[in-house]
Amino acid sequence: MTEKKTIMDYDTVALDDEKNALVIIDQTKLPYSTEILELTDLKKIWDAIYLLQVRGAPAIGVAAAIGIYLEARKIGAEESEFEAFYEKFTRAKEYLDSARPTAVNLSWALNRMEQVVLTNKARRVAEIVKCLHDEAVEIRNEDIRVCRAMGEHGLTLIKDGDGILTHCNAGKLAAVKYGTATAPLYVGQEKGYSFKVFADETRPLLQGARLTAYELQESGLDVTLICDNMSNMVMGNGWVNAIFVGCDRVAANGDVANKIGTSMVSIAAKRHGIPFYVCAPTATIDMCTPTGREIRIEQRKPEEVTEMWYERRMAPAGVKVYNPAFDVTDNDLITGIVTEFGIARPPYRDSLKEIFALKDKAKQNK
């Protein structure tokens, strides 16, 4: 008898070489149904990122790398001269980069793919396209290694039986595997640890309810879903030992942009003396952005608040709606930033530079 697949058995983001397609789980359909999309058109890939069919900073980066490779493959079939190829490649890159402005992994992955083109500009276009294929695959594989490493570092901050609170979805569904904020939980589970996890529902898109609660339950972890306005009470009850969240961009001073509502969780954590950790791969750390004030915050459609999850509109017609997708958590509210190269602690301007020094050293030792 064949065992029923769970969401953990599917790849969040993958490249199908035979079909020349970006393969993703359509996260807008979860948890009601598991639908796999095979995307070959750049506009559909842009839509998938904008419409949150693929979401989470690491997963967006991987999807962008695969997406721009697939487009480069098409361009390469039309253009054999480098200048013409690069002009069309640049237009496609800029278009894809416009899908989500806050998540730095999107531009990071696309810039990395562009660097492959420029480094190999003396080679034939067909060879450049092959190099882009290999880089996209490496970005995907690297994401798995990075998230696993963050899980190992994050696990040193907690112990068996701890209560953990998280906000939004920074889990397996936000990356290729392990996730960022959930990586310590999954790595701990592999080692026989047990945790009691509280997942904020995360209004207005309900990623905590639809995605985090779903994937943690599917994986066998003990998870309790709570409304966003319940986290302070849960902390006050003494049920939470640590908070782990992901993020979409870290500024050079340690300010962090993450899903709307994260800053409120950090304020409550400070009041209750609970450590607040941000899990961020170095690809999400933007040392060119001085502080959180310079991070561009994406504004989304009012319908996400007024009617998306309701059979009938729940707000009066014509009412004004403010719907920022993210907020900024100030660095003084963050206990530590967990990266694949260790844990950065205040003052972040210094410790983040040390993290990148470790990254550079690792590159040199390869």
The per-residue b/e assignment along 118-134, b for 16 or more CB within 10 angstroms, e otherwise, is: eebeeeebeebbbbbbe
Q: pLDDT above 70 covers what percent of the chain?
A: 99
Tens digit of each residue's pLDDT (9 = 90 or more) over 86-129: 999 999 999 999 999 887 899 999 999 999 999 999 999 999 99
Is 160 labeled as catalytic in the residue annotation? no
Q: Which two tokens stand for residue 261?
A: 């509502």
Q: Which pTM was predicted? A: 0.93
The sign of the torsion formed by the CA atoms of 205, 104, 173, 53 equals: positive
Active-site residue among 162, 228, 248, 286? 248
Distance set, CA 324 to CA 36, 64, 123, 146, 257 (Å): 28, 23, 44, 29, 11
Q: How far apart are CA 337 and CA 137, in angstroms?
A: 27
Q: pLDDT above 90 covers what percent of the chain?
A: 96
**Mean of the per-residue pLDDT values of the chain:** 96
Q: How far apart are CA 47 and CA 33, in angstroms?
A: 20
Q: How far apart are CA 48 and CA 173, in angstroms?
A: 14
Residue type, 58: P
The per-residue b/e assignment along 169-181, b for 16 or more CB within 10 angstroms, e otherwise, is: bbbbbbbbbbbbb
What domains sit in the chain, N to C, each tagged with a CATH number?
Answer: 7-146 (1.20.120.420), 154-364 (3.40.50.10470)
- The pairing of beta strand 326-329 with beta strand 336-339: unpaired
- Is the pLDDT score of 1 beyond 60? no
